[in-house]
Amino acid sequence: MKRFVTLFTLFAGLLTVAEAKSERPNILFVFTDDHAPHAIGAYNGWLKSVNPTPVIDKLAREGMLFEKSFCSNSICGPSRAVILSGKHSHKNGFMNNGNSFDWNQQIFPKILRKNGYQTALYGKSHLKGKPQGFDDWAVLPGQGLYYNPDMIFADGRRRIDGYCTDVVTDLAVNWLKDKRDKSKPFVMMVQHKAPHRNWMPALRHLDLYDDITIPEPPTLFDKWEDNAPPARHQELEIDRHMDLNYDLFVDLTPEFNQPPSQKRQDRSAWHNMKRMSKEQLTKWRAAYGPKDEAFHKAKLKGKDLVRWKFQRYAKNYLRCVKGVDESIGRLQDTLKELGLDDNTVVIYSSDQGFYIGDHGWYDKRWMYEESLMMPFIVKWPGVTKPGSRNRNLIQNLDYAETFLEMAGAPIPSDMQGRSLVPLLKGQKPDDWRKGIYYHYYEYPSVHMVPRHYGIRTQRYKLMHFYQFGNEWELYDLKSDPDELTNLYGKPEHAKLQKRMKNRLAKLQQHYEDNSDISEKPDSWKSQMRAEK
């Protein structure tokens, strides 16, 4: 009898373990490149009236939207490295896009595999080398192409005809339907190139927004008068640096041979055109040709030209976003078709924010709000309250820990972020962080944004541009959300300035970051002379 009880107890225990494993949620992580929160309707930014993301907005209504979500280093590869490792750039070794990621290091997909999860990755990796920790994967080489992209598979590289967002979505849908191990929970990372520069839309979206005028950001003609010198010595202005041909496709064809308007010009749109089929190119020129002709006839100058460039750029950007929005719809429809939607966490995020004319800029890199903020929306059926919004300070540093706790896997002690699961369950931890740390390293490089670090709290932000001299900026985000009035050095804010510096120093100590550049030019003037 005793033996029978023992066997029964053991059998019941095994059933409990098996049942617990079967209840672990699947995780679908959809991740884009350069999608600013204010280009998502649910974030209520100045682009909301365009209704750019109806599917993502629905996802937010079904889950939780994080209003205070930030990156730790606003550039593509480093953001991805932080997400995989749960460590700041100086700890995971991938500080700028010129680095190579050490795939041998600890990353969350490896831990999930050890704990019974099947893992898959499709789309943009941008970390160099073959991905590790995934049962199946296919990634773009480098930035990849929008049209007829090459994809690198475990068994080699091959071209796939079609539009990149659709290609990546097809791979993910195919895996869900035909390649998934149905006995295991899964985490699948679907990482789109869009809406990264050069903002080339799907053919079906080339005429989208032709009948409307995109609202202009209130800071489109910012002159950066109260900023430290870095803001005036960059190369990401719509006015001076956005190339009519290579960035905005005016008269652009595969045969185009005019020199670009700036030294560090991105020519990926031109390379994409060389890749297009005759049919694709014909449809492309049919859409842009008449618009180009109208532009030439208008002979625009000054602010009128800037406004035209903004409209062309913003519409192409939002057209790329439309493709992403449709992709999320397809993926969710597939989950429903397969009966997986009730036990799958669906997450939408992007590697950083982006300037869509804000402050007269495009691109990212800065610690200013538009590029510091990143979207983070989570639908977790049965756990996260539909339509909820969270205002805790979170970062991409927290994603790995969150995925691991969702899966019931151990969280390594050397990861530097914190699981968001308590927040997703509606809890309000008293010990949640009061400030986030940021450090950008990529200089000299495209757009010429210098290295800087800083702290952002719920209300204030302090930034240190340490590479040239000793430049600081301090903002009260409650009274000055557009960051137009620099409070640093003003006597009436001396106590606030000292307090923020102390908090910044404590964060650097906490994250063990002492990586200030050692070779500092004398000043911005000396650097400008060197550039010339």
Per-residue confidence at 516, pLDDT binned at 50, 70, 90?
A: low
List the beta bridge partners of residue 159.
Answer: 150
**The token pair that represents 315 in the structure block:** 């519409």
Question: What is d(CA 286, CA 509) in angstroms, rounded to the nearest whole number?
Answer: 57
Please state the pTM of the whole predicted model: 0.93
pLDDT at 517 over 60: no
For the chain, how far is it from start to end, CA to CA, in angstroms?
Answer: 90
Span(s) in the chain for CATH 3.30.1120.10: 438-531
Q: What is the pLDDT of residues 450-460, one digit of tens each?
A: 999 999 999 99
Residue the block writes with tokens 């010198």: 229
3-state secondary structure of 159: strand
Q: How far is CA 455 from CA 309, 368, 433, 434, 472, in A?
A: 33, 11, 12, 10, 12
pLDDT of residue 223: 96
DSSP 28: E
CA angle 121–125–126, rounded 5-degree value: 175
- Lookup: tokens for 19: 């049942």
pLDDT band at 514 (very low <50, low <70, confident <90, very high): confident
For residue 436, what pLDDT band results from cuts at 50, 70 and 90? very high
CA distance 517 to 527: 15
| Size of the chain in residues | 532
Contacts of 103 (CB under 8 A, 6+ apart): 127, 129, 130, 131, 132, 133
pLDDT value at residue 23: 82
| pLDDT reading at 21 higher than 80 | no
pLDDT tens digits for 264-277? Answer: 999 999 999 999 99
Residue 261 has a pLDDT of 87
For 22-71, the pLDDT digits (tens) are: 589 999 999 999 999 999 999 999 999 999 999 999 999 999 999 999 99
Q: What is the mean pLDDT of residues 368-393?
A: 98
The pLDDT tens digits of the residues spanning 322-380 come to 999 999 999 999 999 999 999 999 999 999 999 999 999 999 999 999 999 999 999 99
pLDDT at 93: 96
Q: Which tens digit of pLDDT belongs to each residue from 288-302?
A: 999 999 999 999 999
Q: Which residues contact 133 (CB under 8 A, 6 or more apart)?
A: 103, 107, 108, 109, 110, 112, 113, 119
Mean pLDDT of the residues in the chain: 93
Position 469 scores a pLDDT of: 82
pLDDT digits (tens, 9 = 90+) for 224-257: 999 999 999 999 999 999 999 999 999 999 999 9
What pLDDT is stored for residue 19 in this prediction?
38
- Rounded-to-integer distance, Cα 423 and Cα 429, Å: 8
As to burial, measured by CB atoms within 10 angstroms (0-12 exposed, 13-18 middle, 19+ buried), residue 88 is buried
Q: Are strands 186-191 and 118-124 parallel, antiparallel or unpaired?
A: parallel
Contacts of 174 (CB under 8 A, 6+ apart): none
pLDDT greater than 60 at residue 5: no
Q: What is the pLDDT of residues 138-186, one digit of tens each?
A: 999 999 999 999 999 999 999 999 999 999 999 999 999 999 999 999 9
Best CATH choice for the domain 438-531 from the list 3.30.1120.10, 3.40.50.720, 1.10.150.120, 3.40.1350.10: 3.30.1120.10
Instruction: Specify whether the CB–CB gap between 42 and 56 falls below 8 A.
Output: yes
- Whether 280 has a pLDDT exceeding 90, the answer reads yes
Contact 407, 96 (CB under 8 A): no
